[in-house]
Structure 1
Amino acid sequence: SALVFNPSFTAFVDQNIINSLRFIIKLGNFSAHTNKKVAYREAVLALQNLFEFVLFIDYCYGSSYEDRTFDETLLADDTKQSISAQELTRLRGELETKSAEREALMDEMKSLQEELARLRTQNTAERSYVPHVKTEDETRRTIIDLDLKAMGWTFDVDCMREVPVIGMPSTSGKGFADYVLYGRDHKPLAVIEAKKTTVSPEAGREQARIYADCLEQMTGQRPLIFYTNGYDTYFWDDLHYPPRQVYSVFSQDDLQRIVSRRTQARTFEALKINPAITDRAYQKEAIHSVCTAFAAHRRKALLVMATGTGKTRTVISLVDVLLSHGWITNILFLADRIELVRQAKQAFTEHLPNLSTCNLLERDGSSSARAIFSTYPTIMNAIDEMKTKDGARLFTPGHFDLIVIDEAHRSIFKKYRAIFRYFDALIVGLTATPKTDVDHNTYDFFDMENDMPTYAYEYDTALAEGYLADYHCIAKLLRIPTKGITYEELSPEERERYEDAFDESEEPPETITSGEINHRYFNVDTTRQVLSDLMEKGLKIEGGDKLGKTIIFARSHRHAEHIEKEFDRLYPQYRGEFARVIDHAVKNHAKLLSDFRNPDKLPQIAISVDMLDTGIDIHEILNLVFYKQVFSKAKFWQMFGRGTRLCKDLFGAGADKTMFYLRLYGEFCVLFPESKVYREHGYGLSRRKDVWVESPHPAGAAGGRVPVRSAHGFSGIARV
């Protein structure tokens, strides 16, 4: 399904073709995950849709294209054929073999992209292609009916077709609603207006509203409104929101919950926030801002809060408010790291003990719990796999009333767009990225103007109010990681060491690019310099005798291993315990991370790739070393946040942590050109010669800048 929505696919494929493929996907999922037989008409339509797609591909790339028409009479007469389980297993094996062959073909096709693009441009200019039109009855009986069956509706029981209504604006005053969905009390929950596949669903909007008016007059309950052409479905809760596109019609439970909320939901006028969860003024302001936005009929909110200011506590308190006011029942918390999911679930359980919770990754609780915690891939798989006791799909499009996105940024919405197309819910996004650095695509997703989140409490403000630690930035421009190595530019002594790094049978390359440094090749001298800088000048504890807890952000696992190896060579007295690689490639990384968290245990230095970039809350961290380039502002601020937390008595009784060191190795301002200069505190960041450099004077104070300290030493390279 995600491939069908890939921008590179949708950019040139006709929308009718995409719609046809969506039906094939839905039918396949319905059959595979319900074990129910596919109706003959459904199978024929799926085959016809596939025919249309193959015809379109032939139109674009075929050498002898001709317009063809799908002929149902060519299908086999015996529609009662069935495939045995043994035969199905054999076919699956063949399919896996074909899949491997397809992967090889895909690699081959990459080299033919330009030729394929040329063929498509030439063929589409010379040929004509018109998709076949399907009738309104065919739409209703196949595509829409499939959606209804997939959501658990039973025809002629709680889902009625062609329902007579009175009160129409016509001479007779009578009419027929295409579909009416009923609740267990036999009152109408929703009305559906169906149009032809080639007609915009908007054509049925007003007609659907009139049917809703009639049903309300007839039953005393206003139904919710859907209008669809089978492929595009719109939902209209016209008492609260404008129409919006949804994945499909909703289940009976989901519709009943929405209708019941009309009388159960209370206003936020007398909003009470539990001080045991959130007692800081800015956290309460954030909650009020979200509630105000929801009360104003907005369905999305974005909170910009610096790391260490309690984003998770704030959202827990928000959930508490929304639950107590009858606005939500089911919650989905999404994070991109397993550790973040665990931490969030633990925090919710601690502060809202009466709320049933489940971590989908560990299944530590019922999947029917009110609060579900998951990574993005896990919830995508769970949509099709997880069932209710009676075998129905558990996570229907309307199942969740609120989705919380931990660290909302562009890559999440780009990579996992299908999740947010599927679920229809209120959404609260959390991010530590400064509001001016939040990508415009993120604001667009939340239906907001650039730089205008629902609420912002940023690092500068938190620092000024005493909630976060200050930082002292030391930037160092390293020649080799930045510029690479050019043999001609090396001194005779350096050339000798360079040549010694290669086997006699190998010809040393004339150049090694900066991109290959710390990826294919490691500069030993640079690594030793980074480590000696840290050990000599890093922030220390225990009266200056011991380096404080430190994270070194490495480029890759091999790079991290190289750093650990060089540390042990430089400082053998620590017996290999002081600096350790902690990432997902290490077998016992959970135990190492637990020891790193413990202020009384080693290691003091965690050398990590991605694992410690975000969500690891260790108050004792005093030094952050960026020994890799960071290409994302969102990721940079997450990493920066690992050092911002305060820590009481870290340097002894009454000597608290109020500062951490930030050591940057590389041209970071090239990657972050819009970053602000921090001037409210003692150590700002100034721009000079394309690098961030230390400025020891507050804003407005006299004084100059510390020049960039460039490292030119070269003692050889280590190879991967």
Structure 2
Amino acid sequence: MSKLTEEDVKQRFITPALVETAGWRKDQLFMEKVITPGQVIVQGTKTKRGEIGKADYVLLGSKSRKPLAVIEAKDMQHTITAGMQQALGYASKLDAPFAYSSNGKGFIEHDFFTGIEREIGMDEFPTEEALWQRYLVGKGLDKNGAALVAEPYYVDPFNRQEPRYYQQVAIDRTLEAVAHGQRRQLLVMATGTGKTFTAFQIIWRLLKAGNVKRVLYLADRNVLIDQTITGDFEPLSGRITKVKGKQLDSSYEVYMSLYQQLAGEGGEEPFRQFKPEFFDLIIIDECHRGSARDESLWRRVLDYFSSAIHIGVTATPKETKDVSNIDYFGEPIYTYSLKQGIEDGFLAPYKVIRAGLNVDLEGWRPSNGQVDVNDLEVEDREYNVKDYDRNLIIDERTQMIAKYVTSWLEKHGTDSKTIVFCVDIEHAERMRQALANENLERMVEDYRYVMKITGDDKEGKSQLDNFADVNEQYPTVVTTSKLLTTGVNVKTIKLLVLESNIGSMTEFKQIIGRGTRLDAEHGKEFFTIMDFRGSTRHFADPDFDGAPVSIIELPVPEPGDDGEILEPVWPDEDELIDGTEGPDLESAGGTVIICDPPWITDPGEDPEGKVRVRGVEVKLLNERIQYVDPTTGKLVTESIRDFSKKSLLNTYSSLDSFLHAWSAAERKDQLVTQLSSRGVFLEAIRAEANGTLDYIDDFDIILHVAYDKPPLTRRERINHVKKRGYLQKYSSAGEQVLEALLDKYADIGISEIETTRILNNDPFTQFGSPKNIASLFGGRDAYLQVVHELTEALYQAA
């Protein structure tokens, strides 16, 4: 019995205890339940998936599909408690109230409500009804609350998509809070994690349960409303309407509206056409943009419908000592951050290219008597990146950036969807022209290859849907100032160019969020951030993935006021909505200072107010590529080689310890994957070597980087094996198979030859089917043993 494997224990003891004894149905019992798909780890131009997060058993409520328990199984050589740590981790992630560990001899139960752990027999596992009742008692839910949380999700009959684990937690916690009578709630979910899908499921379950009858969904941009109605909210078709004009139809269940559409202007206040108690639930999308501020026009809408449940949804909550959306909504009932999303593998990671131009790093000062393009003398002072394109235009700098961006596109794919964030609309137009001139052939193919999409440009905005469409190639490269910083879902963005002075942490988070959506089907597994202005320094700020940003709100000083006035980065004209977002200013000590402007003109929009010069020498002084450390989620600040060496030595302190681990590994590629998840960037080291390491094995790169050993090429290793006559002990056909395997190793490395999959491809098909090939060596197991011995022979030269 002690030799039974973990799978034997599951099949012979645990599953029967759940199904036959405790009465759990098989459709409630999920074995090897994948919770997280594994972090996408970027190495050079390639990616690998980290370890998949999966629980041995997840038990779901029959109706609600809420995870009630997680069970981790171990073989009988382990103690009954050996799987408890894993079970607790998965249960905590899933918000499951009970965790169990078993080795087939009994169960250990952990109750998250009481913290008590107890041992029970294999015939004592609780029934679904028992755990459900303990959950209801633990949450303090009465009969009505029980009915609400038992209401099932909407499941699409075609793709059977159920919420991801964090969406399920957010939805369930919201319903539990509603059941307890909590009228103000806040959900914080990183961009790209499905906030609207989560909101839809909340609305669906509350409508079906009868807790609400009419719902108002508020957003601040038309594109958000339109994407939502035709996307995640499509199952509500016929029951949902978009508020248009001044006459409001009261015959629908769900209403989508812009804040300003209901708030009106000139004192009209169209929202008053509804009775104050008309809506039972209001979802406030992107609530960080000011909807909760006391003096906001939008706040009038919320105050008028004050009897409704108000749920704020945001990726970047804001907080101030006196007034904030946290003060309005309360502390978040659930937070799912960008860092968590990347670690779990639901969001795309990024790498950063910091490009340093001479005029940016050293500043620029005009020569004595130098004039601009209008023959006016340029003020004699030192200019820097905060001046460029706001006060001073250097044409050669714009051209250099356009050349640099184009060279990246030519290297990594000219069809890569790209957003260039500029200082203002005028800068976006000049950058569009410079990029167009660098991409003449592609512009001849389609003039939309490079386009400006800003608030003032009707033609550009009309192409926004095409830019977001994964099946549309054009527009490909887009310049903008503020319009695309938030709310626009472009899954296939591969390059974000930061050519704007981004002082606000909130704005920075929103911009980075444009690239975080994964779309492996269309080749999007990570994205690149190209930074010309040092904006990626925000990654090192604790606020980037930490507590909500603290806000101090100040009025704009009246003309003639004394004192220093920080110059704002003004939004596009049509994106200011009653001044509630305001301009973004430089962050000081984690505090963003926001001025609420009494006007909506952009002093930087008039090109006549900018000094423009030509004939300046602009050159690239340095380029630095940074990757995300998969163990900490932080950008690696030292060289990739030095960082990888440190990570290797932290794992294997000596050459002998590494060689032992390498020899013991059943699959070498799995060990390399494990090292990747610990911050060993082998592919990035290859990329930096500009081809000199292309035919060097991962094994040799590790020896060279960590232990200063001279690397051998894969062909040199093959020659060592052949010189020792290793292949000659096999039949002629067997020797030919192994020769072909070694040729594949020379081309692609060890990863593919360790499995039988490669036998389905040329040149192996000439030897027959994989089964026939394996028979040359005595069968599949014997073949795999031969391959294992062959790999050992390859590495004996070490």
d(CA) in 2 for partners of 1:694, 1:308: 32
Q: Taking structure 1 as the reference length, what is the TM-score of the superposition?
A: 0.51
- Asked if 2 retains the 8 angstrom alpha-carbon contact of 1:583 and 1:611, the reply is yes
Check 1:302–1:695 CA distance in 2 against 1; reply closer, same or farther (3 A cut).
Answer: farther
Alignment of 1:60-79 (within 5 A): none
Counting matched residue pairs gives 416
Whether 2:529 is the aligned partner of 1:662: answer: yes
1:448 aligned to which of 314, 318, 330? 330
d(CA) in 2 for partners of 1:501, 1:431: 45
Q: Which residue of 1 aligns with 2:168?
A: 284
Cα deviation code 1:145-181 (max 9, x no counterpart): xxxxxxxxxxxxxxxxxxxxxxxxxxxxxxxxxxxxx
Q: CA deviation at 1:568?
A: 2.7
1:647 aligned to which of 510, 516, 519? 519
Q: Provide the identity percentage.
A: 25
Alignment of 1:495-644 (within 5 A): 495=367, 499-506=370-377, 508-512=379-383, 514-538=385-409, 544-575=412-443, 576-598=447-469, 599-644=471-516
Alignment of 1:342-421 (within 5 A): 342-347=226-231, 349-360=233-244, 366=249, 368-381=251-264, 385=268, 393-409=272-288, 411-414=290-293, 415=296, 416-421=298-303
d(CA) in 1 for partners of 2:372, 2:257: 47
Q: Which residue of 1 aligns with 2:188?
A: 304
- Asked if 2 retains the 8 angstrom alpha-carbon contact of 1:474 and 1:662, the reply is yes
Cα deviation code 1:446-477 (max 9, x no counterpart): 4534xxx2112222332233322111112235
Q: CA deviation at 1:701?
A: 5.5
Check 1:501–1:625 CA distance in 2 against 1; reply closer, same or farther (3 A cut).
Answer: same
- Asked if 1 retains the 8 angstrom alpha-carbon contact of 2:372 and 2:378, the reply is no
Q: CA deviation at 1:698?
A: 10
RMSD: 3.9
Check 1:477–1:420 CA distance in 2 against 1; reply closer, same or farther (3 A cut).
Answer: farther
d(CA) in 1 for partners of 2:429, 2:413: 26
- What SS is found at the alignment partner of 1:373? strand
Cα deviation code 1:336-357 (max 9, x no counterpart): 2221122223336512225232
Cα deviation code 1:366-401 (max 9, x no counterpart): 35533222222221118974779xxxx423333322
Structure 2 unaligned residues grouped into runs of 5+ = 1-141, 546-627, 650-678, 685-798
Check 1:266–1:307 CA distance in 2 against 1; reply closer, same or farther (3 A cut).
Answer: same
Structure 1 counterpart of 2:301, which letter? I
d(CA) in 1 for partners of 2:226, 2:251: 18
d(CA) in 2 for partners of 1:291, 1:383: 38
Q: CA deviation at 1:637?
A: 1.8
- What SS is found at the alignment partner of 1:372? strand
- What SS is found at the alignment partner of 1:663? strand
- What SS is found at the alignment partner of 2:463? helix
Q: Which residue of 2 aligns with 1:13?
A: none
Structure 1 counterpart of 2:235, which letter? H
Check 1:405–1:699 CA distance in 2 against 1; reply closer, same or farther (3 A cut).
Answer: farther
- What SS is found at the alignment partner of 2:370? helix
Q: Which residue of 2 aligns with 1:679?
A: 629
Check 1:601–1:679 CA distance in 2 against 1; reply closer, same or farther (3 A cut).
Answer: closer
1:331 aligned to which of 205, 215, 225? 215
Q: Which residue of 2 aligns with 1:313?
A: 197
d(CA) in 1 for partners of 2:457, 2:418: 18
Q: Which residue of 1 aligns with 2:150?
A: 270
The farther-off stretch of 557-566 and 276-285 is: 276-285
Structure 1 counterpart of 2:275, which letter? T
Check 1:566–1:615 CA distance in 2 against 1; reply closer, same or farther (3 A cut).
Answer: same
- Asked if 2 retains the 8 angstrom alpha-carbon contact of 1:267 and 1:325, the reply is yes
Q: CA deviation at 1:303?
A: 1.4
d(CA) in 2 for partners of 1:399, 1:694: 62
Q: CA deviation at 1:548?
A: 0.5
Check 1:636–1:695 CA distance in 2 against 1; reply closer, same or farther (3 A cut).
Answer: farther
The farther-off stretch of 320-329 and 515-524 is: 515-524
Q: CA deviation at 1:501?
A: 2.5
Cα deviation code 1:203-252 (max 9, x no counterpart): xxxxxxxxxxxxxxxxxxxxxxxxxxxxxxxxxxxxxxxxxxxxxxxxxx
Cα deviation code 1:590-642 (max 9, x no counterpart): 43223323444322101112221122212221111111122332222222121
Alignment of 1:686-701 (within 5 A): 686=636, 697=644, 700=647
d(CA) in 2 for partners of 1:383, 1:264: 44
Q: Taking structure 2 as the reference length, what is the TM-score of the superposition?
A: 0.47
Structure 1 unaligned residues grouped into runs of 5+ = 1-261, 488-494, 651-655, 707-720
Q: Which residue of 2 aligns with 1:430?
A: 313
- Asked if 2 retains the 8 angstrom alpha-carbon contact of 1:410 and 1:442, the reply is no
Moved >6 Å (runs of 4+)? 262-266, 437-440, 692-696, 702-706
Alignment of 1:204-215 (within 5 A): none
Cα deviation code 1:422-467 (max 9, x no counterpart): 331211111223x7x8767545334534xxx211222233223332
d(CA) in 1 for partners of 2:301, 2:391: 37
Q: CA deviation at 1:272?
A: 1.5
2:225 aligned to which of 341, 345, 368? 341
Cα deviation code 1:397-435 (max 9, x no counterpart): 3332211111121633334433333331211111223x7
Q: CA deviation at 1:287?
A: 0.6
d(CA) in 1 for partners of 2:360, 2:531: 12
d(CA) in 1 for partners of 2:234, 2:633: 38
d(CA) in 2 for partners of 1:507, 1:269: 68
Structure 2 counterpart of 1:657, which letter? K
- Asked if 2 retains the 8 angstrom alpha-carbon contact of 1:334 and 1:405, the reply is yes
- What SS is found at the alignment partner of 1:499? coil
Cα deviation code 1:50-89 (max 9, x no counterpart): xxxxxxxxxxxxxxxxxxxxxxxxxxxxxxxxxxxxxxxx
- What SS is found at the alignment partner of 1:301? strand
d(CA) in 1 for partners of 2:266, 2:170: 31
- What SS is found at the alignment partner of 1:413? coil
- Asked if 2 retains the 8 angstrom alpha-carbon contact of 1:333 and 1:371, the reply is yes
Check 1:579–1:269 CA distance in 2 against 1; reply closer, same or farther (3 A cut).
Answer: closer
Check 1:298–1:264 CA distance in 2 against 1; reply closer, same or farther (3 A cut).
Answer: closer
d(CA) in 1 for partners of 2:239, 2:645: 48
